[in-house]
Amino acid sequence: MIFWPRSGINRSSGGNFSAVQVFGIAFSIMGLLPSIASILGTALIAGPAGAVLGWLIAVDFIMTIGLAMSENASFQPTSGGLYYWTNFYAPPKLKTVLSFVIGNTNSMALVAGMCSINYGYNHNRRDSRGVAKNGDFEITPVKTYGVLVATVLLHIAITSASSKHCAWLQTASIIVNVTLIVLFIIAMPIAASRGTPRAASWVFGNFEHLTHFPIGWTQVAQAWMPAIWTNGAFDACVHMAEECIDPSRTIPFGIIASIGVCGSVGFILMVVTMFSIQKDDIEGHILGSSFGQPMAQVIYDAFETVPGQRKKMAIFFMALISIGQFMIGASVLTAISGQIFAFSKDIGLPMSWWIKQVNKILAVPIHAVITGGILAIIAGLLCLIGTTAATALFTLVIAGNYLSWATPTFFRLIYMKEKFIPGKFFLGSFWSRLNGWISVAYGLFIIVMVMFPTDTNPNKQTMNYTIVVAAGVWILSLVYYYVYAHKHYHGPTTNVDEDIDSGDEVVYLDEVLETKVTSATINC
């Protein structure tokens, strides 16, 4: 017997991704060490203890979101995921417009994610050259943007290849990232131990306060950011609903395992990094490094005790980190094209008729790939304003993701009795509600948090542009919906009739839910 919504699920009958493979997709996109290297400076503003403990605390809260999302996916495993669930749980008068906004928000978050990853790749690549030239290397915002555009164009070319080659790239990405993690965890402590050994009291007890905000805010807003940004791709498992075996089980496993593994390994990487710091002057020597990225300086200093190796090892690690970052960018563009393709099939985007076309030879939605790349290039214009403005790409990912994740869970909790049927993964009535409300509250807090600037008294160069871009997307989505899109977008569509085998007994969810509500009314 199959329980099926009348709309929203595009479930193919030939899924062949196992639970481990679904987990691997999220793991490859997260790309632990390259991601941490890109945003390490933010955590160091709170000091080594803030960076380590901030990671641990943030991951615990992130797990509440993953558990709530797993319950949603176990009940309704659909590649439409976030905007479909919003459409399903929201009140009838609001469900279509809210799902439209969430669909656009999720697309925005993915596009910003690709920009931030390529921006990090650009800086890691620059740092390799900076180390080679002993810091005597400068790159302007124009050059930064130029490299970003070139990288996106290369990603478009790679992602437009057949799915077979994209799968190979994903496998290669996993191998590179795992190899990088193992090398880093083994080599860094050995090299650092020959220099200035760090006491555990310094790593776990030294909190810095390098902003003019209150120290408590610094320890949250800065220290949590690496974990929040790095552990932000677990929803990729949801988009694999069409391709995996027994999605009601495999998707929750992929979500929870990716958060658990990346959270645990990421914590180890943060601890290793903090123990490898050789200089006490975090603000001047590491954050103000002539190499650019703090991670490059940390690696360079750690291998200073090995004659003739510090420059070579710093270049080696930063080059390998850059390769890993590049592969992550290609994987994210694949996810972007999937989201944009699905949303365009529901007529949720301008020019949907063109975007949703699939190349018949390669069986790839090339127009969706191109659209995602163009949007990333447009969003990357923030790089021209300056470094601080470019960091809005990182926080824009977070704001978009957390709104997309929290909204369907919020409405599920409100209408749980009327609309929710536990799937194969369920925490139980009490724990599900408790975990769900914690995840929603945490999500709301993070959305507000990432809108704040890095320091007080910002100007046009140092302000946080997240609120400008995010609010712009939300407002324009509403305007576009009420002016034009409402004529064509009516929520997630379906191809159920094409995908269900004639021998299957199908029970539609709305019929089950109607019976559930009627029974509940009689019992009352």
Question: Which CATH number does the domain housing residue 364 bear?
Answer: 1.20.1740.10
The CA distance from 31 to 174, in Å, is 8
Q: Give yes or no for a contact between 29 and 397, defined as CB atoms under 8 angstroms apart.
A: no
Token digits of residue 313: 């090892």
**Predicted pLDDT of residue 343:** 86
The CA distance from 442 to 434, in Å, is 12
The CA distance from 158 to 118, in Å, is 15
Token digits of residue 520: 């509940």
Q: Is 438 helix (H, G, I), strand (E, B) or coil?
A: helix
Q: Are strands 506-508 and 2-4 parallel, antiparallel or unpaired?
A: parallel
**Predicted pLDDT of residue 166:** 66
- In the chain, how many domains are there? 1
The CA distance from 96 to 100, in Å, is 6
Q: Give yes or no for a contact between 412 and 513, defined as CB atoms under 8 angstroms apart.
A: no
**Predicted pLDDT of residue 184:** 95
Give the residue numbers spanning the domain of 298: 2-523
**Predicted pLDDT of residue 163:** 58
Token digits of residue 135: 């810091």
**Predicted pLDDT of residue 54:** 95
**Predicted pLDDT of residue 118:** 87
Which among 243, 239, 405, 241 is positioned nearest to 336, based on CA atoms?
Answer: 239
506 bridge partner residues = 2
Report CA Rg, the chain: 23
Look at the block and give the residue holding tokens 């910003």.
112
Each of the 524 residues of the chain gets a pLDDT tens digit; together they read: 334 444 334 444 445 677 887 888 888 888 899 889 888 988 999 999 999 999 999 999 999 999 999 999 999 988 778 999 999 999 999 999 999 999 989 888 888 888 888 888 887 787 777 777 766 666 778 888 898 999 999 999 888 876 566 667 777 878 888 999 999 999 999 988 888 778 899 999 999 888 888 888 888 888 999 999 899 889 888 877 777 788 899 999 999 999 999 999 999 999 999 999 988 888 888 888 777 788 988 998 888 877 777 788 888 888 888 888 888 888 888 878 878 888 888 888 888 889 888 877 777 788 988 999 999 999 888 888 777 777 777 788 899 999 999 999 999 999 888 889 999 999 999 999 999 999 999 999 999 999 988 778 887 777 888 888 888 888 988 999 999 888 989 888 754 434 434 344 444 444 444 444 444 334 44
Q: Is 4 helix (H, G, I), strand (E, B) or coil?
A: strand
